[in-house]
Copies of this chain bind each other. A is one copy, B any other.
Amino acid sequence: MNKKVENMKALFAPESVAVIGASDNPGKLGFHVMKSLTKGGFAGRIIPVNPGSGEIMGLKAFPSITDCDGQIDLAIVALPAKLVPEIFRECAAKGIKGIVLITAGFKEIDDPAGTRLHEEIAGIANEAGIPVIGPNTFGMINLQANLNASFTPEFSLLRKGSIALISQSGGISHLLGFLAMRMDVGFSKIIGLGNRLNVDFAQMVDCLMDDSDTRVIMLYMEGIDDPGKLLETIKKQNSKKPIIINKTGSSAKSDQASRSHTGSMAGRHEIYMGSFSQARILAVDNTETLLDSARALAGCPIPDGPGVAVLSGQAGPGMAGCDVSEAQGLKIVQFTEKTQQKINEHLPPLALRTNPVDMGPAWYDSSAIEEIIRAVMDDENVDGILLFMMFASANADAVKGISDLLEKWAQQKPLISCILSPPGIWDGEIKALEESGSLLNYPTPERAANAMASLWKYRKMQISRADFL
Contact = CB atoms under 8 A, between A and B. Distances in A.
Interface of A: 26-27, 29, 31-32, 35-36, 108-110, 138, 151-154, 157, 167-172, 174-175, 177-179, 181-182, 220, 222, 246, 248-254, 257-258, 260-261, 285-288, 312-320, 322-327, 332, 348-350, 352, 355-356, 358, 364, 388, 390-394, 418, 420-423, 425, 443-447
The 10 closest A-B pairs by CB, nearest first: A171-B314, A169-B316, A251-B326, A254-B322, A174-B390, A172-B316, A254-B319, A248-B319, A171-B316, A286-B446
Which of A36, A178, A325 has the most B CB atoms < 10 Å from its CB?
A178
A159 to B, nearest CB: 12
B181 A251 contact: no
Contact of A251 (B178, B314, B323, B393): B323
Nearest to A321: B254
Contact of A171 (B108, B317, B355): B317
- Give the interface centre of A108, A318, A422 by most chain B CB atoms within 10 Å: A422
Given A109-B350, A182-B423, A446 B316 contact: no
A257 B320 contact: no
Nearest to A183: B443
Contacts of A445: 175, 287
Contacts of A420: 174-175, 178-179
A443 B420 CA distance: 19
A430 to B, nearest CB: 12
Given A288-B444, A425-B154, A248 B352 contact: no
A169 B320 CA distance: 11
A422 B154 contact: yes
A423 B158 CA distance: 11
A177 B423 CA distance: 11
Given A170-B390, A182-B443, 18 more contacts: A26-B394, A151-B393, A152-B392, A171-B318, A172-B314, A175-B418, A177-B422, A178-B391, A178-B420, A179-B420, A250-B323, A250-B326, A251-B327, A252-B326, A257-B318, A285-B323, A286-B446, A288-B443
